[in-house]
Structure 1
Amino acid sequence: MAPLPLPPAWTGPLPEAAPPGDMALYRLPTGTYETRAAFAFKGGSFGDRRRFAATAVLVRHPGGDLLIDAGFGSRVEQHIRSLPSYERSPYEPADSARTQLDAGGYDRADLRGVLVTHAHWDHVSGLDDLRVPVLINAGELEYAGGHRGGRVFRDVAGEHKITEYRFDGPPYLGFPASFDVYGDGSVVVVPAPGHTTGSVVVFVALPTGARYAFVGDLTWQLDGIRRRAERPLMMRMLADVDPARVRADLLRVVALADVMHIVPAHDVTAYDGIPLLTD
């Protein structure tokens, strides 16, 4: 199948960032579930079974640590049972983010909150085990409060403090606005509505010079970046509130692929190179 048009590669300077020297990034894989590649991206094979990651990412920062998404929680079986039958897949749970934090000797008092890329079940199930604030924008809060895709969020987030942020910063890497979490350019959130009403991309700059784009579900697999392949039509209709916006933002990210690590939330291999907290 023909790929999406090739966007011009990003050739300008990257935005300035001054991450503190002791800032670090860790992955907390909380499990996987199985989906056929044919359902994940246009041109994927029906015989190609993919393990979709459910992984939280810990950002350690002296201004207060963050998790990007929460992965599977201790009640994931119940959360999956609450889904329509066509959304359920074989899955393999691993330790929750909370269990991994505790096993790594992490002081959860250092955790400022969980920044969700969007409110779907496989990104928020683990909130159930973490009594910390949820960082979310107004568009996603509206989606989570009323859309069928937010039902697990409504179940797990009831006891959490909701910290609402705004995109009051300047354009960032082709996106129209931004929110600088720490004010130093190390973690910058941009709006990428389309998959959900308020879904986002989270850019992270490390003191090593490495740059990451955690793109949530703009694409489910790195094939979407490498092949410039959006979701198949049926999955766009089922999964996205605005497929045209997803397509436009996917191409924005494709343009950045040569200058940073792109991490689709559900591609197991995209987390390679990010250390485990318990290593």
Structure 2
Amino acid sequence: MSPLPAPPAWEQPLPEATPPPEVAVYQLPTGTYETRAAFAVRGGSLRDKRQFAATAVLVHHPRGDLLIDAGFGSGVAAHVATLPRIQRAPHSVTRTVSEQLDASGWDRSRLLGVLVTHSHWDHVSGLDDLQLPIWMNAAELHHAAEAADGAVFRAVSAGHEIREYAVDGPAHLGFPSSLDVHGDGSVVVVPAGGHTPGSVVVFVAVPSGQRYAFVGDLTWQLDGVRRRVERPWLLRRLADSDPAQVRQGLLRVIALAGLVQVVPAHDRDAYDGIPHLPDRTAPA
């Protein structure tokens, strides 16, 4: 099965980023659910079982901290039960983002909110335990308010403040526009619609010079980047609002491979090297 045509590698200088020394990134894994590789990427095997990650990311910044996605919440079993039967999969749950923040002694007053890459259930379930503002753009808010796959979001977002943002800044790393959250290049949001109309990629730069691209569901697994393959044809039709737009975003990310650590939301291995929050409640 032929891969996508290789895009030209990014050869321009990386955009300037001057993250303050305090900037740090943490992974907060909240559980997994099981999917066959054949349903995740073109050419995947039915015998290959993948444990899809449901992991949030915490970006610490002196001007305020942000969560990227919310993982599984305490009501995840009820959220799974709302899905069409064909979409339900065996899942396992660890600690919610809320529980991990408490165990670390994190100062929640520093949290600006949860910036969701898109509104699907496995990215927003944990909002039910987080009384924080939800950051979303207008296209994704509109989709979540009306689409069938926004039912869980509508339930868990009730009562939350919505901070609608515009992605109307300059082009960034091949994407047509951007939002520089803190104005220093440390957290930059770019539009990457197609999975849902308002899906985004979040680029994060840390003081060491390391850069991350949290790409949401542009691809479900690193195979999509390493092998240049999309979702299988049927899954593109079922899961994506605009498969051609997803392909365009995926190729943009593939062009950056080697310059940034690409993190598909559901690939557990993609989070390698990102530390967990320290657990202050664990025995010494």
Bin for the TM-score computed over the shorter chain: over 0.9
Deviation at 1:194, TM superposition (A): 0.1
Residue 176 in structure 1 maps to residue 176 in structure 2 = yes
Name the residue aligned to 2:32. 32
Name the residue aligned to 2:165. 165
**Partner letter of residue 59 of structure 1?**
V
In 2, Cα distance between equivalents of 1:44 and 1:101: 36
Name the residue aligned to 1:129. 129
Instruction: Work out whether residues 72 and 124 of structure 1, in 8 Å CA contact, stay in contact via their aligned partners in 2.
Output: yes
TM-score (normalised: structure 1) = 0.99
- What SS does the corresponding residue of 2:39 show, helix, strand or coil? helix
Gaps of 5+ in 1: none
Residue 45 in structure 1 maps to residue 45 in structure 2 = yes
Deviation at 1:11, TM superposition (A): 1.1
In 2, Cα distance between equivalents of 1:7 and 1:76: 38
How many residues are treated as equivalent by the alignment? 279
In 1, Cα distance between equivalents of 2:13 and 2:111: 32
**Partner letter of residue 108 of structure 2?**
R
In 1, Cα distance between equivalents of 2:266 and 2:18: 29
Deviation at 1:120, TM superposition (A): 0.2
In 1, Cα distance between equivalents of 2:218 and 2:268: 15
Offset from partner CA, 1:114-138 (integer Å, 9 cap, x none)? 0000000000000000001000000
Instruction: Work out whether residues 9 and 258 of structure 1, in 8 Å CA contact, stay in contact via their aligned partners in 2.
Output: no
Deviation at 1:269, TM superposition (A): 0.3
Instruction: Work out whether residues 25 and 59 of structure 1, in 8 Å CA contact, stay in contact via their aligned partners in 2.
Output: yes
- What SS does the corresponding residue of 2:276 show, helix, strand or coil? coil
**Partner letter of residue 105 of structure 1?**
G
Name the residue aligned to 2:256. 256
In 2, Cα distance between equivalents of 1:92 and 1:249: 30
Offset from partner CA, 1:196-229 (integer Å, 9 cap, x none)? 0100000000011000000000000000000000
TM-score (normalised: structure 2) = 0.97
Name the residue aligned to 2:191. 191
Residue 12 in structure 1 maps to residue 9 in structure 2 = no
List structure 1 runs of 4+ shifted beyond 6 angstroms: none
In 2, Cα distance between equivalents of 1:22 and 1:62: 7
Deviation at 1:278, TM superposition (A): 2.2
- What SS does the corresponding residue of 1:50 show, helix, strand or coil? strand
**Partner letter of residue 182 of structure 2?**
Y
Deviation at 1:109, TM superposition (A): 1.2
Query: How well do the aligned residues superpose, as a CA RMSD in angstroms?
Result: 0.6
Name the residue aligned to 2:282. none
**Partner letter of residue 82 of structure 2?**
S
Name the residue aligned to 1:278. 278
